[in-house]
Amino acid sequence: MPAITLPDGSVRDFAAPLTGTALAAAIGPGLARAALAMKLDGKLVDLARDIDHDAAVTFVTRKDPEALELIRHDTAHVLAEAVQALFPGTQVTIGPSIENGFYYDFARNEPFTLEDLPTIEAKMREIVAANELFSREVWDRDDAIHFFQERGERYKAELIQDLPVSETITLYRQGDWIDLCRGPHMRGTADVGTGFKLTKVAGAYWRGDHRNAMLSRIYGTAWRDQKELDAYLHQQEEAERRDHRRIGREMDLFHLQSEAQGSVFWHPKGWRLYRTVEDYIRRRQNAAGYDEVRTPQLVDRSLWEASGHWEKFRHHMFIATVEEEPDVTLALKPMNCPCHVQIFNHGMRSYRELPLRMAEFGSCHRYEPSGALHGIMRVRAFTQDDAHIFCTEEQIGPETVRFVKLLSSIYQDLGFPDFRVKFADRPDVRAGSDADWDRAERALHEACATAGVAYTENPGEGAFYGPKLEFVLRDAIGRDWQCGTLQVDYVLPERLDAEYVGEDGARHRPVMLHRAILGSFERFLGILIEQYAGRFPLWLAPVQVVVASIVSDANDYAEDVAKRFRAAGLSVTTDLRNEKINAKVREHSLAHVPVIAVVGRREAEERRVSLRRLGVERQEVLGLEETVTLLASEARAPDLL
RNA sequence: GCCGACAUAGCUCAGGGGUAGAGCAACUGAUUCGUAAUCAGUAGGUCCUCGGUUCAAUUCCGAGUGUCGGCACCA
């Protein structure tokens, strides 16, 4: 006879097994109304499940974090029912809850379009209003397979076939509609509520494999109520406003055009931003003991064959030939590493030179599939803040520690204090022996331990030549971006025959650590633009100050002020147009200029300036020389403070 | 690469089988003004490209290209 422990520690004894619904009712009518599901000994299950043994039970109500997942999953089921009601012959496949919502993949000859969504959504609301109750049924495996095959649901049949034999096959019924599902579900479709919306349609491969059929996916978002939904939709609009493509255009930073697909045209302001970041990274790396180099763009095929890129990477490389030399095949470098090894190999290296940290702002080209291109974030021509550390196996640990320290400090300076680390180990397709991989993975694990780096596993995602650490930034609106990387490579030094003379006078292979902090400048600048929504801190802002005159009598003085600012190293423009100061302030505020220096007759007479900071209405009037000193110091890069 | 949507002025967008429309921006003139839009005027277009249907296509149809949203890809 079940003795049930509740979250407050109290224990209730019951004479016979009872359902969660009954238990909730026994506790109180308020709970009976609010309970959507329960946690039975920590496992989330339907309220209708029997509790037949001594157990700990916690009820899940709408307020609980688990509720969102239940709501989203149930909404996906409602979507599937609606679609099958409206479009007979459509097969169902899978429909999980995801971050912020859910999706459902359907198999249908004619894919769904955006125009179908309002109809489907209306049907969904009918189903929700009807409050069809969810009921769970345990089926015999073969019966279930047979059942779905009979109904022409071959994807569902395939899913069951692939389930382990030990798995209990459960089907959930809601009204007349039935689906294979692990559960749990809420009480009925009314529990979904009204806070959902279908958002987009997309193609998606069955089981995520591009060799399989393409299914028609419908995405939706679902929340506890209309208010939460509205808040989410509002947040989406905010994210759109920060889109780097929009801000890039509005702030005149860069553009893209089809004649150079996947390559960025940097405009003066964008290039200033780019150089600010590049100069900063260069200073940091110089200070951290890196030597900067520059290597060729076009390199003969033979080097790529030797490095292994020709075999593994050729389809992502741009190949160049000249008519005059038909036997020569060159390729634009997709990575810098083989070239760096050429510099390492030039002359005899001694163990005394290790660790040798070779950095390059390496301009690379990779052929990316057209569908992968995205603004300046995913391009075909990009520049890495790349470096290779040639070292001994013993030096992997200390070098990892140094690198992680440098990287965290740089992320901090650039406005990303929050990042995490993933450990990516050997992929299926790889170069090098298993023994090499064992050594490399072990070395990196040990290095993490030494560096005190906590990481999560990312199995099978290593580079083809070695395992890697991936450094993932968290941005201002909670999105993750993998930027930094540290890869241990025993393979390339071997393939390209890199050697140094050891203490013992014999020749040894160095280990190579491939590492980047930003990854690609193009992508990182895209992230940076979205992080700050174009409102950069003073040191990064492409235009730091606009000197705006109020009357034309103050124009000469405004020019003077700008000249003084410029001499102090600030990026300044003047606005002497015949416009009202209101208009000027508005325009430059919309353009995210951090400081507007307003000068009128008064300032000109007194050699002062009125400073207005972006987003701040209050002004401060200061002497010119004082202002120059103040702004110059505020605009200093964090490493120069 | 795959599925879908979209492509009209510098930008945001409307329109529609028969001289192409707005707002903002640009340009010209007037205005000299104190911290988020001064007024008036002018100019601006291969309606993505190529083909088809039609007396007539920017509009309808087809193909291509590009962009966007996903999927796959990101070594």
By C1' distance from the Cα of A309, the closest nucleotide is: B75
Confidence of residue A447 (pLDDT cuts 50, 70, 90): confident
Contact A245, A527 (CB under 8 A): no
* Interval A496-530: pLDDT, tens: 999 999 999 999 999 999 999 999 999 999 999 99
Residue A436, pLDDT > 90, answer no
Tell me the CA–C1' distance in angstroms for A137 and B43: 73
Alpha-carbon gap, residue A266 to A363, rounded angstroms: 15
| Mean pLDDT score, A625-640 | 96
Nearest residue to nucleotide B31, by CA–C1' distance, is A578
Q: To the nearest whole number, what is the mean pLDDT of chain A?
A: 92
Alpha-carbon gap, residue A256 to A381, rounded angstroms: 12
Catalytic entry in A123, A187, A357, A366:
A366
Nearest residue to nucleotide B37, by CA–C1' distance, is A583
Contact A352, A391 (CB under 8 A): no
Residue A439, pLDDT > 90, answer no
Confidence of residue A492 (pLDDT cuts 50, 70, 90): very high
Asked about A53 being catalytic, the answer comes back as no
Residue A431, pLDDT > 90, answer no
Asked about A482 being catalytic, the answer comes back as no
Residue A402, pLDDT > 90, answer yes
pLDDT at A1: 72
ipTM, two decimals:
0.92
Q: Give strand pairing partners of A595.
A: A545, A613
Alpha-carbon gap, residue A479 to A214, rounded angstroms: 28
Alpha-carbon gap, residue A635 to A569, rounded angstroms: 9
Tell me the three state secondary structure of residue A280.
helix
By C1' distance from the Cα of A372, the closest nucleotide is: B73
Alpha-carbon gap, residue A346 to A204, rounded angstroms: 49
pLDDT at A548: 96
Residue with more model confidence, A26 or A486 = A486
Q: Which of A150-159, A436-445, A616-625 has the lowest mean pLDDT?
A: A436-445
Phi-psi domain of A252 (left: phi exceeds 0; alpha: psi -120 through 50; beta: other): left
Residue A540, pLDDT > 80, answer yes
Residue A94, pLDDT > 90, answer yes
Rounded alpha-carbon distances, angstroms, from residue A551 to A28, A468, A555, A560, A607: 74, 60, 7, 15, 15
Confidence of residue A237 (pLDDT cuts 50, 70, 90): confident
By C1' distance from the Cα of A431, the closest nucleotide is: B75
Q: Is the pTM of this model over 0.80?
A: yes
| Mean pLDDT score, A529-543 | 95
By C1' distance from the Cα of A209, the closest nucleotide is: B72
Asked about A63 being catalytic, the answer comes back as no
* Interstrand relation of A545-549 and A55-60 (parallel, antiparallel or unpaired): unpaired
Alpha-carbon gap, residue A91 to A287, rounded angstroms: 61
Catalytic entry in A156, A197, A269, A388:
A388
| Mean pLDDT score, A524-545 | 95
* Interstrand relation of A330-332 and A381-391 (parallel, antiparallel or unpaired): unpaired
Alpha-carbon gap, residue A561 to A160, rounded angstroms: 75
Asked about A374 being catalytic, the answer comes back as no
Confidence of residue A556 (pLDDT cuts 50, 70, 90): very high
By C1' distance from the Cα of A462, the closest nucleotide is: B75
Residue A267, pLDDT > 80, answer yes
| Mean pLDDT score, A389-406 | 93
pLDDT at A312: 85
* Interval A300-347: pLDDT, tens: 999 999 998 998 889 999 999 888 999 999 999 999 999 999 999 999
| Mean pLDDT score, A174-197 | 92
Alpha-carbon gap, residue A329 to A317, rounded angstroms: 12
List phi, psi (to 5°) of A384.
Answer: -95, 150
Structure token pair of residue A510: 């160095």
Nearest CA to A37 out of A144, A195, A186 is that of A186
Nearest residue to nucleotide B65, by CA–C1' distance, is A258
* Interval A21-67: pLDDT, tens: 989 888 888 888 888 999 888 889 999 888 888 888 889 999 998 99
| Mean pLDDT score, A194-210 | 93
Residue A78, pLDDT > 80, answer yes
pLDDT at A266: 94
Tell me the three state secondary structure of residue A447.
helix
| Mean pLDDT score, A600-613 | 95
Residue A144, pLDDT > 80, answer yes
Q: Which of A338-352, A401-415, A432-446, A488-502 has the lowest mean pLDDT?
A: A432-446
Structure token pair of residue A300: 């003969």
Asked about A384 being catalytic, the answer comes back as yes
Q: What is the dihedral of CA A427, A432, A436, A438, to 10 degrees?
A: 20
> Which bases of chain B are under 7 A from a protein CB atom?
1-5, 11-12, 30-38, 65-75
Confidence of residue A68 (pLDDT cuts 50, 70, 90): very high
Q: Which of A72-86, A471-485, A585-599 has the lowest mean pLDDT?
A: A471-485
